Amino acid sequence: MVVIGLGRFGGSLALELVERGTEVLALDARPHLVQRFADSVTHAAVADTTDVEALRQLDVPDFDRAVVAIGDDLEASILTTSLLAEFAIPHIWAKAVSRQHGRILERVGATRVVLPEHDMGERVAHLVTGRMLDYIEFEDDYALVKTRTPAMAVNRPLGETRIRSRYGVTVVAIKRPGAGFTTATQDTVLEPGDILIAAGRARDVELFADLT
């Protein structure tokens, strides 16, 4: 995989990919950042990623996955993403600093746009204003919430709580103190201290979490 841009987001991503066994070509126009990561990734190089010939010399068109993690130079971000699309790289992830920037990246060929700061801010906002232990929102207003067993469900089989019909969420897994997560069934008896993973529409899982 090629990671372009070695700032906080791109650098952390490159290191995590290597930790997970992925070979990474890391590129940045700033020599001091390339030097910082040179011994930690498969290969690192100083490159102007808006230069098509520079990308060709580094065999970037041969990759099937690329991440454009340039956040401080919008023009370079957009031009780099466009060049990767011209290479017909199947999977192009691009970091955006705003929704408008993200829309432009999609238009020039990004297959997936991420807004790390916005997404983290939204996630933390859910955690600090409610009783959730964790919160992940997906597309189409669908979310997963990690929360504790609500009082109305304690010591009752999941099927008898009517959580799905009353609150529009599905409890998919539970975790008992000192144990790992297991798949929840209609016969699972919910106990005090259980941690639940529930899925449903964002608003529904928020209201469910507020029951604890």
Q: What is the pLDDT of residues 127-165, one digit of tens each?
A: 666 678 888 888 778 989 999 998 889 999 999 999 999
Helices (H) and strands (E) in the chain, counts: 9, 13
120-209, CATH topology level: Alpha-Beta Plaits (3.30.70)
Instruction: Write the pLDDT tens digit of every residue in 44-91.
Output: 999 999 999 999 999 999 999 999 999 779 999 999 999 999 999 999
pTM for this predicted structure: 0.69
Q: Output the 3-class SS for 135-182.
A: EEECHHHEEEEEEECCHHHCCEEHHHHCHHHHHCEEEEEEECCCCCEE
Domain ranges, ordered by start, for the chain: 2-114, 120-209
Q: How much of the chain, in percent, has pLDDT values that exceed 90?
A: 71
CATH number, span 2-114: 3.40.50.720
How far, rounded to the nearest angstrom, does the alpha carbon of residue 206 sit from its chain's CA centroid? 20
CA dihedral for 131, 167, 119, 90, sign (positive or negative): positive
Please indicate whether residue 123 or residue 99 has the higher confidence score (pLDDT). 99
Residue 193 has pLDDT above 90, yes or no: no
Give residue 123's pLDDT.
66
Tell me the three state secondary structure of residue 16: helix
